[in-house]
Amino acid sequence: MTTQPPTFPALSPSGPRRVVLAAASSGSGKTTVAALLCRALRARGVRVQPFKLGPDYLDPTHLTRAAGREARNLDSFLLGRQRLRELFARAAAQADVSVLEGVMGLFDGRDPTSDEHSTADLALLLDAPVVLVLDAGGSARTVAAVASGLRDFRPDLRVAGVILNRVGGAGHAALCEAALDQVDLPVLGWVARDAGLHLPERHLGLLSAEQAAWDTAAADRAAEGLRLDALLDAIHAPALPDAPAPAQAGAPVRVALAHDEAFHFSYPDALDELRAQGAELIRFSPLRDAALPAGVGGVLLPGGYPEAHAHDLSANVAMRESIRAFAVSGGAVLAECGGLMYLGESLEVDGQEVPMCGVIPYRTRMTPRLTLGYRDATALRDTLVAPAGATVRGHEFHHSVLTHAPTRPAWTWTAHDGTVTEEGYAHGNVLASYLHLHLGADPALATRFLAACRAVTA
């Protein structure tokens, strides 16, 4: 007798399903569960669109691999609320189910006194049901207390159920489920504790999917505990307004995009905005290529891990000279974080100064201290993406510092304690900064950058 594949409930006439996976804290296994869910749904023929809440560049690579569809970042600080809804709706319309991995704990946002820019805030903005990912290791009844506390903290939040993570086995899962029954929260699946599901980390977070992957057999075992039919039935959501199509504008222009093991922190929606405005993005490797692609008007050097590849980057003298010559000739160069470190004179790693491109008069060194946070920045002078006096939103996340005070700083911002920071480098057609911008947040940012690129090739 042939076993028939399981069937799913018919999709709601109100539109595709969506779900926000949230937790009580970071480290609860949101990325693991989100990727497992994407993988399991994909294996059952469901088109899945993954999203990552917040500015993270690494978790989305695991979601992309699992779903077979490029994960998108949703950050209400960087994008703004209306732009976020537009970009979400545009991507979600191409799939049957949207899986949104939350950030930190459910209610953790920019500050401890409000839910603004938190996972809960975004779930409400998108009218999306929430499924709690709870680390059940070493507990049973307590998971019910945690789950009900999270649900009841914001009664207007729709908590659809729970997925238990790091469970000891079926017996342990049953104990947790009995407790959750008492607070009227269904268990929509459980994932056993399994070393094969561990995703290694380094100082900026998880290793990317290109550098680390699960054991396939472990992922298959874990999927057996997910109750996909019940979950799909629980995550119906109202339709969102249709997103406007991206504006098509500008003559074609070739732009070189650094993309390899050392540089790969780019937002898909930002690259889409550049393409929509006429950019032909040509990937190149500062590690392996001998020169920039021919005929480009601009170079994008995103963040990444130049410190992990410093000696190889330095050894590729031909590429360093190609980038320097391009910048000296007036080419448009936009560099963020790792890109700033590469454009500088040197990068100090483990006490050794390693020569870099020498395009900007900065030297950097690695430090154990992490600098991170959202920034409301004002341009101190005309830059590639914004004129003097304009404000932009970005974020910092790095373990390196300048070894000296900045010259020709690009941005200034004021911290909550009143501290004023001047940061980055802007001169001519070069903009380098620790500030990560989202060029998809405001089309004007991409427009200004591409105008400079076109002027180079005119």
Q: 184: buried, middle or exposed (CB in 10 Å: 19+, 13-18, 0-12)?
A: exposed
The sign of the dihedral angle between the CA atoms of 128, 271, 109, 205 is: positive
Q: Which residues are catalytic?
A: 337
Q: 182: buried, middle or exposed (CB in 10 Å: 19+, 13-18, 0-12)?
A: exposed
Strands of the sheet with 48-53, listed across from one edge: 72-74, 48-53, 97-101, 17-22, 130-135, 159-167, 187-192
- CA angle in degrees (0–180, nearest 5) for 393-396-400: 150
Q: Give the three-class secondary structure for 77.
A: helix
Rounded CA separation 400/413 (Å): 19
- Torsion (CA) 267, 376, 364, 382 in degrees, nearest 10: 90
Cα 1 to Cα 4, 6, 107, 185: the distances in Å are 9, 15, 50, 37
Picking from 289, 228, 241, 267, the residue whose alpha carbon sits closest to that of residue 56 is 267
Picking from 288, 290, 384, the residue whose alpha carbon sits closest to that of residue 336 is 384
> Residue 432: which H helix or E strand, with range?
strand 430-433
Report, in angstroms and rounded to the nearest whole number, the Rg of the chain calculated over CA atoms: 23
What are residue 72's DSSP bridge partners?
51
Q: In this structure, are residues 74 and 122 in contact, taking their beta carbons and an 8 Å threshold?
A: yes
Q: In this structure, are residues 134 and 147 in contact, taking their beta carbons and an 8 Å threshold?
A: yes
Residue 384, token pair as written in the block = 């590639």
Q: In this structure, are residues 196 and 218 in contact, taking their beta carbons and an 8 Å threshold?
A: yes
Of the CA atoms within 13 Å of residue 68, those in its CB half-sphere come to: 12
